[in-house]
């Protein structure tokens, strides 16, 4: 994972102010001023010539750190390991950096082992603790990414750094971004990055061709784009006012990063003016303007923060900006927080190299939750094991762009993203419980907590319905000659799209309906605890059909005398009625009847499918059962006879 150009450059500004390039006489001097790309070769040459083992180890340490600074962790990792093996003691964070390198290279178990080793010496170190969390979370996030769809914008990207996109006027077809590509106004290449200084570029989306047009410089008059470094734009809601960062140089001397503003009139931008926010800070960069234009978020190393780079905000007071305020330790850390973006809904997005994450810099979001400020990692695929930063959203939409140097990128590249809407569909059928076939010309009613109240006729017994997120629905089916049926389906709390299969089973009113799992101890009529759940479904059915009067019919097998079986079945039927009454069912709607062994079970199509030694329509009489081939078959048949059923006596009850 290469460290992004944007991160490397701003980090350089934080670290130092240097005198001219001509003063760089030695490899160590090159390293000290932050020219890590150049320093690596010079340090390697110096190491080969150095005979003092201790000094050579010090040089090797600087080589490892140079690879670390530019984000080449594959080359940094073995060098850190070698230094640890040789017991290099001048860097107390060596094991921590080695653990980071292992993590960035995807070697999570080894990384955790080294984080723990570091914690043995520094048990309170938050960075190492976060590193372990990152190792644990990254594989999970990669295995189960969020619903965001991420696309590399190849028509916008170059082989150089492209980052910090900003939509103009909230339009999805007009974009301003930062690039160090060929054609930039700053023609001299940086000795720090090897690339030109950044400029602001613009592009428009061709609707007919369905692609972004070739980017162009936002201006050619060197008003906005100059030989200095410009980037990180943010625009007012109407696109008429733009803030951006400018890093100025004077004879190769870094003058710091400042925020500038410019106004647009027709197609022309005015000459930028410096925004007076801080007077003595080296870095004031990465502006983000609130929707109302009254609050400006920015990055600074201003004293009083929590780390190298913190995110601050400042409010507009009439014709000037007020006193900057730090966003606090929930957002800012001992590390670096960069590239803030304040969304039109008030959510803050930013990048951090310290919060638990997947790579060097991860994109996080912060918002006010029920119990205070919540900071969340955007996870995969927004984040990767590379640097991910400078996110922006279209107003009112879950889509936008960000920059990343993840695998597959040429440098820092622009990526678009979109969160597709959650789709919930119900596909179902209305089925006759007796014949197990669809009921034609039945009616379906759908009632939802979102106000849905729909009644339709299903000609073929099938139906489809698209549901809304965070909604509970009641699906009810009914037809003359059948008992009503309903099911409740909820999309509340579902994070992913889902298809529901629903079967609404209508029971004919002229057929006995079996109540499954109504069990008793041998020779007794008290309901067992396991029978309660089955009877609760009967309670639901009675509540759903308030006009029916039913007969509870209890049956036995032929074992025992006829009189005994009749009396026992009557008591069992009455125990069911008593339970239903206890659940609030009107006693006038319930009739208990024990039939003993007089009404053998008739085999249904469903039973015949379950037991291949039965045929549909067979009556499980004593004579029939005794002719079955095995004792197991006979016992199954007798268990089917030992049942509790109900049938509808009439459908005109009025409470």
- Cβ–Cβ under 8 Å, residues 640 and 602: no
d(C-alpha 216, C-alpha 495), whole Å: 40
- Upper half-sphere CA count for residue 556 (Cβ side, 13 Å): 27
d(C-alpha 478, C-alpha 461), whole Å: 11
End-to-end CA distance of the chain: 74
Nearest alpha-carbon partner for 394 in 242, 234, 176, 167: 167
Could you tell me where the DSSP H helices lie in 444-593?
A: 532-544, 562-582
Per-residue confidence (pLDDT) for residue 22, from 0 to 100 = 32
Give the count of beta carbons closer than 10 Å to the beta carbon of residue 309: 28
d(C-alpha 153, C-alpha 211), whole Å: 9
**φ, ψ of residue 490 in degrees (nearest 5):** -125, 140
Residue 270 CB burial class (10 angstroms; 0-12, 13-18, ≥19) = middle
Q: Per residue in 81-119, pLDDT tens?
A: 999 999 999 899 999 999 999 999 989 999 999 999 999
75, containing H or E segment = helix 73-85
Residues near 356 by beta carbon (within 8 Å), at least 6 away in sequence: 130, 133, 134, 137, 377
Nearest alpha-carbon partner for 387 in 415, 352, 356: 352
- Cβ–Cβ under 8 Å, residues 118 and 95: yes
Residues near 564 by beta carbon (within 8 Å), at least 6 away in sequence: none
Cis ω before 381 (30° cut-off from 0): yes
43, containing H or E segment = helix 36-49
Q: Mapping DSSP to helix (H, G, I), strand (E, B) and coil, where does residue 439 land?
A: coil
Per-10-residue mean pLDDT of the chain, 655 residues long, equals 52 41 56 80 86 89 90 92 93 94 93 96 94 95 94 95 94 94 74 74 94 93 88 95 85 70 90 84 87 95 89 91 94 95 96 93 94 94 95 96 93 95 95 91 96 94 95 95 93 92 92 75 77 84 91 92 93 92 94 94 89 94 94 92 89 86
d(C-alpha 523, C-alpha 534), whole Å: 21
Give the count of beta carbons closer than 10 Å to the beta carbon of residue 106: 15
Decide the pairing of beta strands 462-467 and 472-478.
unpaired
Between the CA of residue 188 and those of 102, 180, 193, 224, 249, what are the distances in Å?
36, 11, 11, 17, 12
Per-residue confidence (pLDDT) for residue 47, from 0 to 100 = 86
- Cβ–Cβ under 8 Å, residues 252 and 220: no
Beta strands per DSSP E along 460-518: 462-467, 472-478, 485-490, 498-506, 513-515
- Cβ–Cβ under 8 Å, residues 174 and 181: no
Residues near 40 by beta carbon (within 8 Å), at least 6 away in sequence: 63, 66, 67
d(C-alpha 587, C-alpha 580), whole Å: 8
Q: What is the 3-state secondary structure (H, E, C) of 535-569?
A: HHHHHHHHHHCCCCEEEEEEECCCCCCHHHHHHHH
How many helices (H) and strands (E) are present in the chain, helices listed first? 13, 34
**In this structure, what DSSP letter does residue 469 have?**
T
> Alpha-carbon torsion 82, 85, 88, 93, what sign?
positive
Q: Mapping DSSP to helix (H, G, I), strand (E, B) and coil, where does residue 402 land?
A: strand
Between the CA of residue 324 and those of 64, 269, 315, 470, 554, what are the distances in Å?
38, 27, 8, 40, 81
């Amino acid at each position: 994972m290469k460290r992004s150009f944007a991160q490397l450059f701003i980090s350089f500004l934080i670290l130092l102010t240097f005198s001219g390039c001509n003063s760089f006489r030695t490899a160590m001097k090159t390293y000290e001023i932050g020219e890590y790309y150049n320093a690596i070769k010079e340090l390697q040459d110096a190491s080969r010539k150095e005979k003092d083992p201790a000094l050579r180890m010090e040089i090797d340490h600087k080589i490892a750190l140079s690879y670390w600074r530019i984000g080449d962790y594959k080359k940094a990792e073995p060098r850190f390991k070698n230094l640890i093996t040789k017991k290099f003691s001048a860097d107390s964070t060596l094991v921590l950096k080695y653990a980071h390198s292992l993590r960035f290279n995807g070697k999570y178990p080894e990384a955790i082992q080294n984080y723990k080793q570091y914690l043995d010496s520094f048990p309170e170190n938050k960075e190492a603790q976060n590193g372990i969390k990152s190792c644990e979370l990254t594989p999970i996030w990669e295995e189960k990414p969020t619903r965001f769809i991420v696309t590399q914008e190849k028509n916008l990207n170059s082989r150089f750094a492209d980052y910090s996109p900003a939509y103009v006027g909230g339009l999805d077809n007009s974009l301003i971004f930062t690039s160090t590509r060929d054609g930039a106004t700053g023609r001299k290449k940086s000795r720090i990055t090897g690339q030109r200084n950044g400029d602001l570029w613009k592009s428009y989306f061709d609707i007919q061709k369905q692609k972004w047009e070739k980017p162009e410089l936002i201006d050619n008059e060197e008003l906005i784009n100059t030989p200095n470094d410009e980037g990180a734009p943010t625009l007012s809601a109407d696109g008429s006012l733009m803030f951006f960062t400018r890093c100025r140089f004077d004879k190769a001397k870094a003058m710091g990063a400042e925020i500038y503003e410019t106004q647009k009139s027709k197609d022309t931008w005015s000459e930028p003016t410096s925004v007076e926010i801080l007077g003595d800070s080296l870095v004031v960069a990465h502006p983000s303007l609130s929707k109302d234009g009254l609050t400006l978020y920015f990055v600074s190393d201003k004293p009083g923060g929590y780390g190298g780079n913190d995110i601050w905000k400042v409010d507009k007071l009439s014709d000037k900006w007020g006193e900057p305020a730090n966003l606090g330790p929930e957002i800012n850390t001992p590390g670096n927080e960069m590239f803030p973006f304040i969304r039109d809904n008030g959510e803050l997005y930013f990048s951090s190299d310290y919060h638990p994450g997947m790579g060097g810099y991860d994109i996080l979001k912060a918002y006010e939750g029920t119990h205070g400020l919540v900071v969340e990692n955007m996870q995969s695929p927004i984040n990767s094991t590379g640097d991910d930063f400078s996110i922006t959203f279209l107003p009112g939409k879950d889509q936008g762009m960000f920059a990343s140097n993840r695998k597959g990128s040429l440098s820092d590249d622009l990526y678009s993203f979109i969160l597709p809407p959650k789709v919930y569909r119900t596909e179902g059928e209305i089925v006759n419980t007796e014949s197990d076939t669809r009921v034609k010309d039945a009616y379906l009613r759908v009632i939802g907590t979102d106000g849905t109240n729909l009644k339709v006729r299903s000609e073929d017994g099938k139906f489809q319905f698209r549901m809304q997120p965070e909604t509970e629905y009641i699906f009810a089916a009914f037809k003359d000659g059948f008992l009503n049926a309903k099911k409740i389906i909820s999309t509340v709390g579902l994070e992913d799209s889902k298809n529901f299969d629903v079967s609404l089973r209508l029971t004919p009113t002229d057929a006995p309906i079996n109540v499954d799992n109504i069990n008793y101890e041998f020779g007794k009529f008290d309901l067992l605890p396991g029978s309660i759940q089955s009877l609760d479904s009967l309670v639901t059915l009675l509540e759903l059909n308030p006009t029916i009067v039913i007969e509870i019919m209890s049956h036995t097998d032929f074992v025992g005398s006829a009189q005994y079986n009749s009396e026992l079945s009557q008591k069992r039927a009455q125990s069911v009625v008593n339970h239903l009454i206890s659940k609030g069912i009107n006693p006038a709607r319930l009739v208990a009847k024990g039939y003993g062994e007089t009404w053998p079970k008739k085999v249904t199509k469903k039973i015949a499918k379950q037991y291949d030694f039965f045929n549909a329509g067979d009556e499980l009489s004593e004579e029939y059962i005794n002719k079955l081939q095995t004792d197991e078959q006979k016992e199954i048949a007798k268990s089917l006879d030992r049942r509790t059923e109900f049938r509808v006596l009439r459908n005109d009850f009025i409470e």
